[in-house]
Amino acid sequence: MRKIYPILNLGLSLALVGTMAACDNSDMELDLSPSNPLLEVSAPAAANFGDSIPFTLTVDGDVPLSTVTARLFYGEEEMGSTVIRTRTPGTYSGKLFAPFLQNIPDGTATLSFTMIDTHTSKVTKESDIRLTRMQYPYLILVTAAKSYPMLPTGVPNEYAATETFPNTDLPAYIKTPVTTENANEITFGWEGGAVTQGVTADIPFVSAVAGEFSVSFNTLTYAAAPFFEILFNGANMAMTDKTHYQIDVDITQGQAITVEGITDIADWWIDPDFLTETGDGEYSFVPISGRYRFIADLGLKYFRVFALNGSVPAKFSDATGTGAIWIIGEHVGKPNLSNAVGWNTGTALCMAPMGNKVYKVSFVAGEQINTAQINFKFFGEKDNWLEEFSVFGAINDGGVIVVGLGQDVNQMDKGNLALQPGVTLEAGATYVFTIDGSSGHDTATLTVEKL
């Protein structure tokens, strides 16, 4: 037997308390003697996911009535409810929405109706309802310029539009037609890197071929196609938007990496701090073994890589000297200065952990670092401006940089790096910044070397 939780009629209780407080008769008592509420329910025995399920209530009783609460359960989980005010005997009607959810099979749900009267007596009626996924005559693919019908393919719950589309990129969302009296329009769009019900943000469909191609969608699994696929060591990188794909992996130092699906991979800039190119789409991993996130940026044509702790960006540990060190600031950026980091934690650069509590980052002057000026600093956390490397125990730089000691000391913010007066970096030369964090972030050693 399903457990029906009691309903507290707070408004009624407060009204009764207020009435009692206003009376001069302090001996007045609230009459909560047993009563006999009567409830009859008429509801359909079958409906579709996404429908508004109609119902009719007939109520009566020997004391004033209050409310009927209607609930819909999928198994033991309550999926929706509505409250009908039933102050006087009679017939009332309402609707309950049956949610349209991913990967929920057809099955039997429960409609539960609980009536309460002013004596807090209750009566509950339950009935089964068969819920099925609507087999639509078509879906609608909506683009900015035009809508296209998506017809059943013969595979259960699958629909497709096969057209000569104007471009291989086809941003669009999908919606259902309203084909029955109780049906609702259901939309499917893009959110959080996946097809999601209830939104209309465009799904970034991309075809590998121009001209005629098919766009498909499954209303049970939400599987959709076509998408551009990138395989990282045989595993699909997840699309976060049309130009970014990512994957979190445990990887060992020196491990071989293969990337498939990027036809112009030869034109990509490969960050030597993280990857050594061994062939077309084949690489060897440079930093120490650990968990890392790889983000393929199709627009900038490079892989952004950073260290993870589980599923979140790693942090530098003062106690162990391990984790990650991040660069935030001006006049540096990868794959080039057009993608400068700036004072934006979201685009912070991760130094490559090389083992023995040593971290490094390399820049080619004029390409990833400005030759005439720099203004950045190191942090032990990516997102919260914490664990600043404000001072160093030692600096070995050959007279190239100066570290800020504070505006009142050398007119620089503490920890910010700048070039020494009169110094410029040699265009085309590689400069490697290395931090040894063995003694913690307050006494770490910074080395700058020109290769």
Domains and CATH numbers, the chain: 10-132 (2.60.40.1940), 139-225 (no CATH), 231-450 (2.60.40.3620)
Strand, coil or helix: what is 163?
strand
Q: How does pLDDT run across 244-273, given as a tens digit for each residue?
A: 999 999 999 999 999 998 888 999 999 999
> pLDDT value at position 29?
55
Residue given tokens 């009204």 in the structure block: 15
Pairing of strands 122-132, 46-48: parallel
122 vs 133: CA distance, rounded Å? 34
d(CA 121, CA 33): 9
Q: Give 423: exposed, middle or buried? Use CB within 10 Å, 0-12, 13-18, 19+.
A: middle
Strands 302-309 and 312-313: antiparallel
Distance CA 221, CA 369 (A): 46
Element (H, E) at 15: helix 10-22
Torsions phi, psi for 208 (to 5 deg): -75, -15
Which helix or strand (DSSP H or E) is residue 12 part of? helix 10-22
In degrees and rounded to multiples of 5, residue 34 shows phi and psi of -55, 140
Q: What are phi and psi of 407, to 5 degrees?
A: -60, -30
Q: What is the pLDDT of residue 131?
A: 96
pTM: 0.68
DSSP 16: H
The tens digit of pLDDT for each residue in 302-332 reads: 999 999 999 999 999 988 889 999 999 999 9
For the chain, which residues score pLDDT lower than 70? 1-32
Residue 30's pLDDT is 55
Averaged confidence pLDDT in the chain = 90
Contact 12, 118 (CB under 8 A): yes
In angstroms, the CA 248 to CA 255 distance is 15
